[in-house]
Chains A and B, each alone.
Chain A
Amino acid sequence: MRRETLLNAAIALGLLAVPLWAWSAGEPFTITLATRAAILALAGVGLNLALGLGGLVSLGHAAFFGVGGYAMGILAHHAQTFAPLDLGLFTVAGTKSMPVIWLTAMVFSALAALAIGALSLRTSGVYFIMITLAFGQMFYYFAISWPAYGGEDGLSIWVRNGFPGLNTLDPIQFFAICYVLLMAALVLSAVIARSPFGLALNAARQVPQRVETVGIPVYRVRLVAFVISGTITGLAGALFADLNRFVSPSMFSWQLSGELIVFIILGGTARLFGPVAGACLFVALEHWLGGLSDYWHIYLGALLLGVVLFARGGLIGTLAGREVAHD
């Protein structure tokens, strides 16, 4: 219908076409790059639900990314060492099955988001930013000082986990899994944004008092959005761990939380495909600038500064025009 819709379709097709081309040309590394972009985009789509639609600037989403990663790491670690996970009252066998791991990752990141959200949403604005950042850092230090699962060194998983009916060791098949999940999350985001819940969330971002006055509990709406947002980011964490076959406390680092926000801003705030465009651009820059200079973060910083100061709609805003910019 609009230029943005066409642009979204182009981004979705582009992210599919590049790895398919690389597959036919026999360049598995490009497929891995595309998979990395798809997974980071998924994490960004999760954050965008809270940040873009709800106006909740969370600088601690790495906590959920890391919880998802460690859910995968711990289950797969117990499976590969054949040592059941002892939970005191009962024991759980580890698993190498992706669906089970995803479910576990989503449940635990939802619980983490519920706890962090319930506390952080008592405040707003700049307090919220600082508090989510601090809670993210808490998970980071906990992961470093907890020796059972590698502590600072992290955990290596020897073989990628399996998905029924697919060979996940084949890069293009693993990419397909990540791509389908990304598209599913995008559809879910679009549905949420149009639902009464999404409208209430969007309204609460603009004028919370008015929303409260018509009888909608703003705190509860925001908390639900924060939990859904954290759950999606947690799923992305589990996939990211599977991509690298490695989890470490760096998945919890505050830089990662910052980068997730960078995806959204580079792509365009509150645009459905903003995080996808941003993550693709980020991975491309990382690969291209990282090859040119060891100090590529300087250029990334300068680009980011330019986007924030002068090109406020991000990539999608610049290409699709401002007519649907948020509020």
Chain B
Amino acid sequence: MNTSRKSFLTGFLFASPWIIGFLVLGLFPFVMSFYYSMTDYDLFQPPKWVGLDNYIAIFQDENFYKSLKNTLFMAFIAVPINLIACLLVALMLNMKVKGIAIFRTVFYLPSVIPAVAGAMLWSWILNPQYGLLNIILRALGLPDPSWLTDPAFTKPSLILMGFWGAGAGALIFLAALQGVPRMFHEAAEIDGANAWDRFRHITLPALSPVTLFQLIMGLIGAFQIFTESFILMGGSNGGPDQSMLFYAVNVYQEAFSFLHMGYASALAWVLFVIVVLITIVIFKTSMRWVYYGGE
């Protein structure tokens, strides 16, 4: 047996756990899902072929548009807002003062709370009458919205909850911030650049690769929002005026509340196409704003 053949076998053998898993729990369900999306299937009767009917029905389904609109709001408004918050926290945590490690721990701490427990805590903090937030707002003479029951305020509630978890994203920014060579800043300072110029022309470009990474992870996360809506709204109903009906919640509801397995599979495939398209667009446009050092 020659060496390249031997190393192929060894490599393949080492990778085989993942390869088997990919075939059985990846590729097979992936292909089956496409088949199911062309059928009417309730788990009990055998699947009935309906061709493209499910896909046609999606584009006439009000819930589809509602869930897509809610999800896109989270992806393109909530995620960028959250990234800015993460960056601000990272800049704070990058200050050179004694005891900064303690502050890093404090800001990261909320990120280790289980989503279910965190959502329970926030549904109490956001209680319109007795919740801490509205008590503070009233004390300051500010309006006190019914956060979780007013359809206009449910998604802002999620943005608020997202701020609390900004520590995790901030630490990723922080690691990148610390990778910016000091001499760049020193050289710019000698040349008379002020703090804002240095931030704008040195820090931001240096952070662009990690921003791209966080943006993509954030977008993917936005398309998976489920637990918060489920806990805060007490199920997959989508909350007041379905303002918390997100794409993943809608897929879950169609599949497991209504047992529309075929239709839900078609929804999942539309989601897949949307996510791939968004990822491609971001990668393509990223060439204009992402700067890789040393290339």
A and B together in one complex: no
Q: Which residues of A contact B (CB under 8 A)?
A: none
